[in-house]
Chains A and B, each alone.
Chain A
């Protein structure tokens, strides 16, 4: 026989009342618990959204047109991410030891000053903090009337202090805004770090842009100056040509009459007048040489030598012709000329003769009479070019003058010591440059001889 099931006892009213209360209590606890869970989920949602915004700011803030634009975007993102009514972004300028406000959000013009006297020493470490935790700083920022704020320093990647960002609320804002959650300072630090790096990048880019702009400006200025110089040179050279050409005709007449006077009447003249006539004749000759040289120089300047169409010139033959043409002077000074075998290269024959002649005669001229001129013509290949040197044992050139001597009418000595018009080396320089080369002089100093070198392109 199975056990008899006893009928269920009916609960008393008091028991039912108790169970009801317990149930009610469980239900209400359940409601509250559910609400707490929703709050936690909501907090997580907010945090996720915040990091999404920080990420987005990294992209949006990267290439802004101006610092104002960048700072405006940055403050707006801080407002959005941290849901505060006010934000201020400032930049530290070491030269002023002050923070300058780049952008504000939610402050009236009168509330936010343009700069603060807060030095980097106020910020220990990179972490953000609550303004309410730093009474000294709160005092210094009292003008902003912030009851509390998230504050974080901005640093460059190399650790340089760049500025400060503050995002917070005033007392009256607390009507609708919850007090700042201290946990928010972690995300705030992350965003401030991002802003710091972007600000640094912006400033570096700005500096680069500025440098490029300045360089472009300088280049433009140089180009313009070079154009001016070229134009002025061309005008001068044209002027020299016209002047020398026009002077040549009256000079020729003067020389003709001087020659006639000398030939027909010199013997009848008193000896003092004969002396005067000789001086006139010598000076006219000198004048004529100057004009010839000036003309030669002007012609060189006005003609554009096309190096591509130049004939090949054997420089050995050029030097031989120069020596033959000047054999009287060479023999008179008992000068010895030693010449290495020279190359054949594209050049203007007459100009090459002029170049070697000027340099060889200079070497003889600037060797004191008591010394026998020893001249060496040397050559060595330099890549596709050749470097020539005319080496002498003459009076030498002091270091300071070595660059001057190629200038027009540049003479280092009085004409009564060494005759000449100061055009020879200018002509040499012009010839070498016409051939796309370069010329320079070297000397160990006075009395130690000189070496005139020039480079000419090879075949």
Chain B
């Protein structure tokens, strides 16, 4: 049986930050827990000294498996922190061996996402029997996330829930990092398989943007690379539409350059929207094409989007309400949370941001210290209406719930 503990802080000295987080998270467990086989999931912003973080984690917990990734901000019980040196951890303590396992790869790209994800899933399945949910932390720059999900599905089947997100930097979309024990990867992906039969994951997702204006049609594309929109170089046209310079890098444009794609009807209710959002984090300077995190076939219509504050708050309430109904009467043991990097300080001031987080945490925590680890990343994985999907600009909540005999039908 897995037990979870979390903490986050803004301590700038990386070694101290890790020690402080571990101490805070495991305060109730006593000294012996540090010597056990633990899983430590790290989310850190880009300014930390990653080597020092990992080394401190291993020094304090020599038997621990350490995985993690960079993000634009950390969200914990303590709130959100988007400083250059913010750290959040979730520690999972296993009652017996084999309750969790990890697999990882380096150099995951759009063209090899299926293959790499499949190989990881195979490793995970072989080494950790009984995996009943998969947590992905992958590079967020040019992964084809839908292809990666296909790779997982081909090994574990469509039923297995996949959650997690893609790592980010501080919204510059230059580079993101993933961590596996003492290794620091720049284009890697990590899969964590949880094999605790007493646990299940319940998810909630929503975004608060609306499509505006006329759609732009993809007129030339290959896999997740879009060359032309309405017959013009894709990035150039998008920048023109947004009144931004043609040579703008993608990072600073993320908050305004989100694109909406029509969702099939069956997802409208669970997604709470007719459109799914796509982010652009990589642009080809030469041909002015851009990369989406999913395949984008020719003929796809893409809309510019605008955030709608009312929709953000009302959607958030609906999401939490739906989630609360699903987990009613059961014990929530931990919450993982991925939020779009653009939904942090790039879009909201501190007061609004804190309010959003409070609206999510309060109904689930119900006054207790519920382990919570969230990050502002480039994209989110969520299972919707029986299908694992990848999307952007959303808030996605993954509540790990202890199975109960009183599951609400």
A and B: partners? Answer: yes
Chain A residues proximal to chain B, CB less than 8 Å: 20, 23-25, 27-32, 34-35, 38, 41-42, 44-45, 49, 76, 79-80, 83, 85, 105-106, 175-177
Q: Are A27 and B84 closer than 8 Å at their CB atoms?
A: no
Contacts A76-B13, A83-B83 given; does A38 touch B349 at CB 8 Å = yes
Q: Are A85 and B346 closer than 8 Å at their CB atoms?
A: no
Q: Are B170 and A176 closer than 8 Å at their CB atoms?
A: yes
When chains A and B are docked, how far (Å) is the Cα of A331 from the Cα of B49?
104
Q: State the 10 A-B residue pairs at the shortest beta-carbon distance, nearest first.
A: A41-B349, A24-B213, A79-B12, A45-B350, A27-B212, A83-B84, A42-B345, A76-B12, A80-B12, A176-B46
Partner of B306, one of A20, A31, A79: A31
Which residues of chain B are near A80, meaning CB under 8 Å? 10, 12, 83, 85
Q: A79-B12, A176-B47 are in contact. List 12 more A-B contacts (CB 8 A).
A: A20-B214, A23-B213, A31-B212, A32-B242, A34-B306, A38-B346, A41-B349, A76-B11, A76-B12, A76-B13, A80-B85, A176-B170
When chains A and B are docked, how far (Å) is the Cα of A25 from the Cα of B212?
11
Q: Mark B40-52, 1 if CB is under 8 A from A, else 0.
A: 0000001101000
Contacts A24-B214, A27-B213 given; does A32 touch B244 at CB 8 Å = yes
Q: Are A35 and B172 closer than 8 Å at their CB atoms?
A: no
Which residues of chain B are near A30, meaning CB under 8 Å? 306
Q: Is B256 an interface residue (CB 8 A)?
A: yes
Number of A-B contacts defined by CB within 8 Å: 75
Main secondary structure of the interface of B (DSSP, over half): loop
Q: Are A35 and B212 closer than 8 Å at their CB atoms?
A: no
Which residues of chain B are near A34, meaning CB under 8 Å? 306-307
* A101 → chain B closest CB, angstroms: 17
Q: Is B405 an interface residue (CB 8 A)?
A: no
Q: Are B85 and A32 closer than 8 Å at their CB atoms?
A: no
Residue from the set A24, A31, A85 with the largest chain B CB neighbour count within 10 Å = A31
Q: Are A175 and B12 closer than 8 Å at their CB atoms?
A: no
Interface residues of B in 312-329 (CB under 8 A from A): none
When chains A and B are docked, how far (Å) is the Cα of A175 from the Cα of B177?
14
Q: Are B10 and A176 closer than 8 Å at their CB atoms?
A: no
* B378 → chain A closest CB, angstroms: 15
When chains A and B are docked, how far (Å) is the Cα of A177 from the Cα of B49?
14
Q: Are B256 and A31 closer than 8 Å at their CB atoms?
A: yes
- Nearest chain-B residue to A78 (Cβ)? B12
* B204 → chain A closest CB, angstroms: 25
Q: Are B347 and A38 closer than 8 Å at their CB atoms?
A: yes
Which residues of chain A are near B345, meaning CB under 8 Å? 42, 45
* B48 → chain A closest CB, angstroms: 10
Which residues of chain B are near A20, meaning CB under 8 Å? 213-214
Which residues of chain A are near B241, meaning CB under 8 Å? 24, 28
* A417 → chain B closest CB, angstroms: 84
- Nearest chain-A residue to B46 (Cβ)? A176
Q: Are A85 and B47 closer than 8 Å at their CB atoms?
A: yes
Partner of B174, one of A32, A106, A175: A175
Q: Is B348 an interface residue (CB 8 A)?
A: yes
Q: Are B349 and A45 closer than 8 Å at their CB atoms?
A: yes
- Nearest chain-A residue to B309 (Cβ)? A34
Partner of A175, one of B175, B304, B347: B175
* B341 → chain A closest CB, angstroms: 13
* B307 → chain A closest CB, angstroms: 8
- Nearest chain-B residue to A177 (Cβ)? B84
When chains A and B are docked, how far (Å) is the Cα of A24 from the Cα of B304?
10
When chains A and B are docked, how far (Å) is the Cα of A24 from the Cα of B243?
11
- Nearest chain-A residue to B253 (Cβ)? A35
